[in-house]
Chain A
Amino acid sequence: MVTSATSLGRSGLHDWIIQRITAVVLAAYVIYFLGFIFSAEVIEFSVWKHLFSQVWFKVFSLLALASIVFHAWIGMWIVSTDYIKPTGIRLVFQAFVILFCFACLIWGAQILWGV
């Protein structure tokens, strides 16, 4: 049986809402990024580094990364419940996804705050 024990929000509706909110955050981040890339003709190292050294942009970037991993956790959870029927294998897969997400989040935080 599929239970929600390994889903992020422990309920379909909760997951659904988080999936939408993170999608909107990510779309906003991508749009800002596109604006940045096309307003600066050549992206030089100094401009790039300056962008990421502003605290508000670090926060925005970390928010985006957190959104990516939560969004992916929920998305991959749904995919796993569709295709992986044996509970044991699905559990291992979901555990792998969750650990992968946390590892990326921690690594990303370290990168962003190291600038």
Chain B
Amino acid sequence: MNKNRPVNLNLGAFKWPITAISSGLHRITGILLFLSIPFWLWALQESFTADGFVYVKGLLSGIIAKAIAWLLLSMLAYHIVAGVRHLLMDAGIGETLEGGRRGSYTVLVLGVLSAALIGVWLW
């Protein structure tokens, strides 16, 4: 490898086109969802006893647990929306530069919209 390549470590100097943002968010949500699996399993396990069911449901009335649930569900929603777009692009839909920009924009809007809906449903 050429060791004299120019190196740019100034993060502020990078450009962040909308396509990079939507793709980066898909990756971050994927990683965080991966880490959250034991949390879901724990809630599922608790929910199968009468006391645990009440307990888990009761947790959701607390502001912190509610905020965590909102974040996790919103991340899942975004990951799915961006994932479906991935599948569409695999099928050859929206693969042009312009289509990519429009797709990223659509995905971000739908992500914000589903986060809002999940918030309304939880609160």
Contacts and interface: CB of A to CB of B under 8 A. Distances in A.
B60 to A, nearest CB: 11
Interface stretch (B14-22, B64-72, B79-87): B79-87
A99 interface: no
A72 B38 CA distance: 13
A107 B41 contact: yes
Contact of B41 (A27, A30, A79, A108): A108
Contacts, number: 48
A91 interface: no
A45 B50 CA distance: 7
Interface stretch (B2-10, B26-34, B94-102): B26-34
B38 A104 contact: yes
Interface residues of B, number: 22
A10 interface: no
Interface residues of A, number: 24
Given A23-B87, A27-B84, A115 B30 contact: no
B118 to A, nearest CB: 11
A14 interface: no
Contacts of A72: 30, 33-34, 37
A20 B87 contact: yes
Nearest to B48: A115
B105 interface: no
Interface in A60-82: 68-69, 72, 75-76, 79
B47 interface: yes
A48 B37 CA distance: 20
Interface string A5-38: 0000000000000001001101100100000000
A68 B47 CA distance: 20
A27 B38 CA distance: 20
Contact of B45 (A48, A75, A97, A111): A111
B80 A30 contact: yes
Interface string B34-75: 100110010011011010011000000000000000000000
Contacts of A115: 48
Contacts of B31: 75-76, 79
A115 B49 CA distance: 9
The 9 lowest CB-CB distance pairs between A and B, nearest first, are A72-B34, A45-B53, A111-B45, A104-B37, A75-B30, A115-B48, A23-B83, A108-B41, A45-B50
